[in-house]
């Protein structure tokens, strides 16, 4: 008796359906919605373009400012000598995120910038929906976010911005967010003797803290704004210390301006008025 076989086209189609059904879903994918980044992959400014856009480059000649960069693990080993020759004099490296992630490239990035003569510091990407502010400050300090009065180490930075993994304000009310930030800043100061810098964007700050103005007297501001000017600052601050002005700069994308000459950067690192 002859054996009846499916037509080759049908076999191919059935095989394709079977393989598709068995294929694993990537850990970072949401089958019901848009792709969500893998936990730990966030970086300073991850939400700026999507939420605030970009409109030009900084005006020249308006004030003395010193070029800097910020880096994270996705940039891998950084060519610090190239950046130095291009005029970069200070750098921040992502150290931690939440209480679950440390940057595997931290040593090369943090020490590499120092070794070529830059003034360097570390930042923490906040995830207020995972653990408390004090716990995250401890984790940060314990994994590279400390400070020393050597004139070459900048104070730690709290990177508080849009949540790349879910709701923009991490599911917190404005008062809840302010409390979380206070807890982080208080513990960081207790552990290091320095006031942490706050990195944020004005629109996020307005939406997620209710325009809270109470941190400006103690905590320096690092503003995120990809434009020719910084624009309106978050409530309470009349000036910025640092400005992330682009995500498409040379050598590494994220470039910044310190609001002052390089001697002011050194004084800021050393906590000298």
Three-class SS of 69-138:
EEECHHHCCCCHHHHHHCCCCEEEEEEEECCCEECCCHHHHHHHHHHCCCEEEEEEECCCCCCCHHHHHH
Q: Element (H or E) spanning 176, and its range?
A: helix 174-192
Ranges of residues in the chain whose predicted pLDDT is under 50:
1-33
Q: Domains in the chain, start-ordered, CATH in brackets?
A: 48-270 (3.20.20.80)
pLDDT of residue 183: 98
Which of 52, 138, 161, 256 is catalytic? The answer is 161
- Is 70 tagged catalytic? yes
pLDDT of residue 55: 53
- Is 77 tagged catalytic? no
pLDDT of residue 127: 98
Which of 52, 70, 97, 254 is catalytic? The answer is 70
This prediction's pTM: 0.84
Which of 52, 97, 138, 159 is catalytic? The answer is 159
β-strands 221-224, 90-97: how paired? unpaired
- Is 263 tagged catalytic? no
């Amino acid at each position: 008796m002859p054996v009846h076989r499916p037509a080759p086209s049908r076999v191919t189609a059935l095989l394709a359906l079977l393989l598709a059904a068995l294929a694993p879903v990537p850990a970072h994918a949401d089958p019901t919605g848009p792709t969500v980044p893998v936990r730990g992959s966030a970086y300073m400014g991850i939400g700026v373009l999507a939420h605030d856009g970009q409109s030009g480059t900084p005006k020249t000649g308006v004030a003395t400012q010193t070029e800097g960069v910020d880096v994270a693990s996705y940039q891998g080993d950084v060519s610090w000598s190239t950046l130095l020759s291009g005029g970069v004099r200070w750098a921040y490296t992502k150290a931690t995120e939440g209480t679950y992630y440390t940057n595997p490239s931290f040593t090369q990035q943090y020490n590499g910038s120092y070794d070529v003569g830059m003034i360097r510091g570390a930042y923490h990407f906040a995830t207020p929906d995972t653990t408390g502010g004090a716990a995250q400050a401890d984790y940060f300090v314990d994994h590279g976010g400390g400070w020393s009065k050597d004139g070459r180490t900048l104070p730690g930075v709290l990177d508080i911005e849009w949540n790349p993994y879910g709701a923009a304000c991490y599911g917190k009310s404005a008062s809840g967010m302010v409390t979380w930030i206070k807890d982080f800043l208080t513990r960081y100061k207790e552990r290091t003797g320095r006031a942490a810098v706050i990195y944020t964007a004005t629109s996020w700050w307005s939406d997620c803290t209710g325009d809270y103005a109470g941190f400006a007297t103690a905590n320096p501001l690092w503003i995120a704004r990809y434009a020719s000017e910084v624009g309106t600052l978050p409530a309470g601050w009349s000036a910025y210390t640092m400005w992330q002005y682009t995500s498409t700069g040379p050598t590494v994308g994220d470039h910044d301006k310190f609001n002052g000459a390089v001697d002011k950067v050194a004084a800021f690192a050393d906590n000298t008025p």
